[in-house]
Amino acid sequence: MALYDLVVPPTHMLRQLHDLVDFSFVREELESRYCLDNGRLAIDPIRLFKYLLLKALFPASDWDLVERSRSDLAYKYFLDMAPEEQVMDSSSLTVFRKRRLQDEKLLDLLIGKTVQLAQEKNLLKSRTIIVDATHTKAHYNQKKPEELLHNQAKKLRKTLYGFDPSLREKMPKKPEKSTLETELSYCETLIETVSAWEGWTEIPAVGESLRLLQEMVEDDQEQLRFSADPDAKVGHKSADSAFFGYKTHLAMSEERLITAAVVTTGEKNDGKQLQELIQKSRAAGMEVETVVGDMAYSEKDNLIAASQEPEFQLISRLNPLVTQGNRAKEDEFEFNKDAGMYVCKAGHLAIRKARQGKKKRGKNQRDTYYFEVEKCSVCPFKEGCYKEGAKSKTYSVTIKSGEHEAQMAFQETEEFREKAKERYKIEAKNSELKNRHGYEVSSYSGLTGMQIQGAMAIFAVNVKRILKLMEEQKKETK
């Protein structure tokens, strides 16, 4: 270890992380997934887990990640490898993800470990959680599998032409008809051709583009044959902006440590995840007395739940359109606060709304939301929702003035305004996850893959934050 003491200083993040976290829990949790008395000796699950943590800290393909660990001594120190030790094959990471980490409890386990670590270091003192949801685009878009392969092959060719335009003449012939079979066959031929050209794959830009195409053809071929991404759904960021993918609903302490997370498909309502986020935060060891969130969390069920707990405060500004009231079919239509419209269970967003009735006339006003008849007529959930041949499909919500008088009075107080100012912190955390840890786009296909990615990314940002808090704590004690 004397060599590592020279080249990996105590201030290096990976050295600090190695010394801070006891990763033995990984082996304990995964022991039941291994055969202890048969087969060849397995790669240590702690090392495989650390590789995935490095992938979350420094986003890269599996191949590039393992290749870097061949020569980066900081990586080797973190992975508990001897300087001269050979690295494993990158395919072992794929097997580890698919066979060992398929556990719904992984996300809660990793968050719980970081919260426990923060409490042991006396870093977690607040009793307030800030809640929000961040969206992640699906690994595959709403495109046909052959389109995805075609586009990635095109990117590889353009990268090569940027270095040598004459390579156009050496490329394999493109398929005349684009089908999944022809595109797969062409991509396999293209990979073989480029791989045979001596020296070209050593160019970083070419090598990375080639490996991305290889992973798409080889590692994800099964998903490509069945669906681009069967679990991903359409969500809405605003009335005219949509995304195809997933949502991660987060709860974070005032110290900027994530205390709970729920990964859902993209169309799910933010407010309905609040009670689960509170329960998970408390299960992780966090005392929760105050919740800070945007208007999505001020729906009726959440206000009722908050009122039943003494000394509990919900810092979420009311929006009359968000309150649930006694709506018909309220389980089938949910309000999207970003778009300001309702979404049906098929994920279709209302195209316009109109308010009916007049104020102070004895009857409550109603907001009527209009959906596209063309979509409703072919919707798989149309039975009992859309009448065949109808010229319009609407959904109405009664606006109940005075329903939330206590919350309306509370949100006008100075205490409410001051606590609401803390909400910006979780926006910064969402940005960190996306811009520094690859959370903008899902790395894998399916909801389970998104949960694994979420678990590793959140574990990474939490341990980084713990290191930062420890540094600040050390400065204060001097």
Q: What is the DSSP string of 179-219?
A: -HHHHHHHHHHHHHHHHHSTTGGGSHHHHHHHHHHHHHHTT
In single-letter form, the type of residue at position 301 comes to: D
DSSP H stretches of helix in 308-353: none
Two tokens, residue 161 = 């032409």
Among 116, 135, 369, 338, smallest CA distance to 244 is for 135
403 phi/psi in degrees, rounded to 5: -65, -30
| Alpha-carbon gap, residue 50 to 78, rounded angstroms | 8
| Alpha-carbon gap, residue 43 to 31, rounded angstroms | 12
401: left (phi over 0), alpha (psi -120 to 50) or beta: beta
Paired residues of 394 in beta bridges: 370
Rg (CA), the chain: 26
Paired residues of 336 in beta bridges: 341
Give the CA distances from residue 255 to residues 49, 426, 460, 468, in Å, rounded to whole numbers and listed in that order.
Answer: 26, 10, 16, 10
What distance lies between CA 367 and its chain's CA centroid?
33
Among 33, 51, 36, smallest CA distance to 89 is for 51
A 10 A CB-CB count for 270 gives 23
CB of 148 closer than 8 Å to CB of 224: yes
In single-letter form, the type of residue at position 351 comes to: I
Per-residue pLDDT in tens (0 to 9) along the chain, 478 residues: 578 888 889 999 999 999 999 999 988 888 776 666 675 667 888 999 999 999 999 988 888 899 999 999 999 999 999 999 999 998 888 888 877 777 768 889 999 999 999 999 999 999 999 999 999 888 766 566 777 788 888 999 999 999 989 998 889 989 888 887 888 889 989 999 999 888 888 888 888 888 888 877 765 455 544 445 566 666 766 666 677 789 999 999 999 999 999 999 888 889 899 999 999 999 999 999 999 999 889 887 888 888 888 889 999 988 655 444 455 566 678 888 888 889 998 889 999 998 877 665 545 567 889 999 999 988 888 888 888 888 889 888 776 545 467 888 888 899 999 999 999 999 999 999 999 998 988 887 788 888 989 999 999 999 999 999 999 988 887 6
Q: What is the DSSP string of 226-258?
A: H-S-TT-EEEEEETTEEEEEEEEEEEEETTS-E
Give the predicted TM-score (pTM) of the model.
0.70
Give helix then strand counts, H and E, for the chain.
19, 11
